[in-house]
Structure 1
């Protein structure tokens, strides 16, 4: 038979596994001599920086840094507001069976809550941190693209859809700018906080790189003129992620994370403390891929000779559709008498997603935190509460379709009213529809030299089709071809039903025994 195989290699991204844990981060700090005593803590914020990750057998090792900023009111006559910075390193392990050091990991984090207790000049803090780990493997598959001299060889092919990964890289952008306060704004006595987030504008793949445009949204909170103020703005920036082999026909996907934000208060031309130099380090994670489809040989037999097949198991996650939905929220909080909104922050939390009445229903809640100057007391006050939301997405899906839901706060703003606080927010709901498929791809066909004996078989065999039989199954069982069965039975297609009587005619090849 002299089979000649033409092979081709391609890369697929396989999901190895994911898991999550929670860890308690605890820290104590004693006030420095320059800080006044604490009357009460007004507000506590926190974020987690993932310093590094490591994969070993069945484990994802995470080294992280929990960063906390606490605003407190001083226990003195002035009652001014001060900032405390606390950092605490931690190390955790997430069990994910099947992972090893050659794979790729991604870690997400979230601070669920922060508790504190002030005693004398000591502050004790506890924070519950949730960590999610996902591990992927970029797998190189060698498949048979074509077969020559195969006139007696029958092949069954199946189409797969997959993302072929061209590259994954991490780089860092350094964003710099200077904030200049207006003439009518107070000088800066002390910076009380710098809140930063990144918003993507556009990303695209070009020759050997991904180009991304984004902006840093900042809110500088500071004390000055016996009051607390905020200065908001945005800093646009562009960044290039070098990725050899990438072309403009590929899709570029980018994620951002603020690694560090530093500032220095400077004097302006008049010597006033009204200029702040910002330097922001942003981690930019880029991936370039192409949505592809190809035919894979999943079964094979010869009508004249016994052959040996070598198979490789593939677990393919076929991306069916990406859905993006924006849920707008307009919330009114009564009896909040705000003179000025210093900061409004929020977190979108997913509670449950389910398939109901030909659609996907997403239930979650928005945690809102507002820092404001009370109009009645002229003091800094804090409001915090949770608000439920529901998104209904009409999408027809089959029973074996997987759906992965992600909710993210896209924007939030607090607006002062006469006797209430109005919260306007947009929650981005992203739904990915996919289908997990396990395929046994044939990547090697070997001749055995053992010819099939057809001489002792009857000239005609009547076969009654069983449940789940296919024409391929019958042709393979009797070492014939689908075309020969169709011809013998005067059929117009290869569709059969349970109970059909199928005629199998014996055809003895000259090389058969």
Structure 2
């Protein structure tokens, strides 16, 4: 009898995705201890996902948006107002099962802080939630055949094998990385009375797997607006870049794995502190990065594609298995150089700070790769010559498009794209214009689904020699279109080696019109 040696292939298959857009809208009262609102200068928001629950064909997402508003009061000073808006959103995902793996990504599309009256502000935001669903898929495929004597016969089995490149998810892992550092004021800056506004942004983050570890490096951009110490002290700002590098222990990681890593700031805190002389001239920076790691492992797997016997009748049970193979892993850089002109540009004395957010609007698969279109939303904070409005902020959208090369890409390709801002600068030019230079990182992992016929079972029985005797012992054959030596050998009850030896062939490749002598084998 025959027995198949099988291998279990564990894969995660993309099951689908869904997108939901929600609107947040709330009003907030200015505390009695704070000045009346005259003008809103800056606003920012951070989204936190608290829980994600799989339900019957839907995902329940719960989270909040923390916001901060920097405004100029009626008395001319700057004040900071903060708060939170909670949300809970059910997202329909047809076919979702409780065992499926769900990944949520969120993007703050728009944040608008307005003035209702001097003691009341409105906060409106649009949030896009994207759900990506993967499901575990285990396939048993035959990789070898084991022959054992049955009824005195030892089956003479011919096997055809096929090599398949399979990309499986080797591991998923979440971990955190902490950055603690301090910033000192330069000698020409006054002491810190209190911090009015702070921003922490990641730039140029890269990850790299090594055996047992995930390496991480990048820059943490720090921007602080503070009230100087002393009566009538002017508003001051600090901008620093803190480089960081380190490693995270992940015991099962190997260097040959292909990583897809999402890195985001989940905690950030800046606090003024005294220096060695007791003066408030330092700021402690505490940031926590969350790494959501998914690592693929490529394996060259040899599967049984077909088999037959020259002395037994074999019955094959077949099925279809669909695998993912890595089509390309491409880290591209999109460079932007754009000149913009702001309203009242002639009043700008100095640019204090610029920060940007990358927003992908559309991706389209074409013959030459993945076409990406999006905008770089840039905020520019600047000093003006107007004493009543010394600090102003402008928001501009700079569109961009880029081609990520991906040979072989098609409509079935599964594209996992991560975008981030690597570099950004805004410099005053002549004529009241500002030159913006930016570098956007576009990290693409493209997976190509491939479906192959596999052998799932086999039965064998004694050969019907009456049928075998009807076949001619020797036959001349002209190769037809679509033929291969394997198909010819199986049809005429011989072997590929016998055909090659009989016909003096040194290569198993044949082409239509070739003439062959075929000799039937009987055991």
Instruction: Compute the TM-score of the two structures, normalised by the length of structure 1.
Output: 0.84
Cα contact 1:304–1:479 (8 A) shared by 2: no
2:101 aligned partner: 104
1:346 aligned partner: 356
Within the candidate set 159, 180, 190, 2:184 is matched to: 180
Give CA deviations for 1:80-112 in whole Å, capped at 9, x if unaligned: 222222222222233344443434332221111
* Structure 1 Cα separation of the partners of residues 222 and 295 of structure 2: 29
Matched, 1:384 2:395: yes
2:85 aligned partner: 88
* Structure 1 Cα separation of the partners of residues 250 and 134 of structure 2: 19
Cα contact 1:14–1:137 (8 A) shared by 2: yes
Change in Cα spacing, 1:253 to 1:406, as seen in structure 2 (3 Å) is closer
1:153 aligned partner: 157
Structure 2: gaps of 5 or more residues: 149-154
Cα contact 1:169–1:241 (8 A) shared by 2: no
2:328 aligned partner: 321
- List aligned pairs for 1:461-472, cutoff 5 A: 472=486
Query: What secondary structure is seen at the aligned counterpart in 2 of 1:186?
Result: coil
Change in Cα spacing, 1:309 to 1:55, as seen in structure 2 (3 Å) is farther
Query: What secondary structure is seen at the aligned counterpart in 2 of 1:33?
Result: coil
1:132 aligned partner: 130
Change in Cα spacing, 1:385 to 1:266, as seen in structure 2 (3 Å) is same
**CA apart distance, 1:425:** 0.8
1:53 aligned partner: 52
* Structure 2 Cα separation of the partners of residues 187 and 181 of structure 1: 8
Cα contact 2:305–2:454 (8 A) shared by 1: yes
1:162 aligned partner: 166
* Structure 2 Cα separation of the partners of residues 191 and 349 of structure 1: 30
Matched, 1:435 2:448: yes
Query: What secondary structure is seen at the aligned counterpart in 1 of 2:280?
Result: coil
2:152 aligned partner: none
Matched, 1:255 2:262: yes
* Structure 2 Cα separation of the partners of residues 94 and 152 of structure 1: 57
* Structure 2 Cα separation of the partners of residues 58 and 476 of structure 1: 48
Query: What secondary structure is seen at the aligned counterpart in 2 of 1:274?
Result: strand
Matched, 1:241 2:252: no
2:433 aligned partner: 420
Cα contact 1:221–1:342 (8 A) shared by 2: no
Cα contact 1:5–1:147 (8 A) shared by 2: yes
* Structure 2 Cα separation of the partners of residues 228 and 307 of structure 1: 86
**CA apart distance, 1:340:** 2.9
Instruction: Compute the TM-score of the two structures, normalised by the length of structure 2.
Output: 0.82
**CA apart distance, 1:130:** 1.0
**CA apart distance, 1:253:** 5.1
Structure 1: gaps of 5 or more residues: none
Q: In terms of mean alpha carbon deviation, does 204-213 or 122-131 score higher?
A: 204-213
Change in Cα spacing, 1:137 to 1:439, as seen in structure 2 (3 Å) is same
**CA apart distance, 1:426:** 0.9
Cα contact 2:383–2:392 (8 A) shared by 1: yes
Matched, 1:31 2:30: yes
- In the alignment of these two chains, the number of paired residues is 504
**CA apart distance, 1:327:** 2.2
* Structure 2 Cα separation of the partners of residues 399 and 14 of structure 1: 18
1:43 aligned partner: 42
Q: In terms of mean alpha carbon deviation, does 452-461 or 426-435 score higher?
A: 452-461
Cα contact 1:59–1:97 (8 A) shared by 2: yes
**CA apart distance, 1:283:** 1.0
Change in Cα spacing, 1:178 to 1:394, as seen in structure 2 (3 Å) is closer
* Structure 2 Cα separation of the partners of residues 180 and 82 of structure 1: 23
* Structure 1 Cα separation of the partners of residues 468 and 275 of structure 2: 101
Within the candidate set 288, 293, 298, 1:286 is matched to: 293
Cα contact 1:15–1:137 (8 A) shared by 2: yes
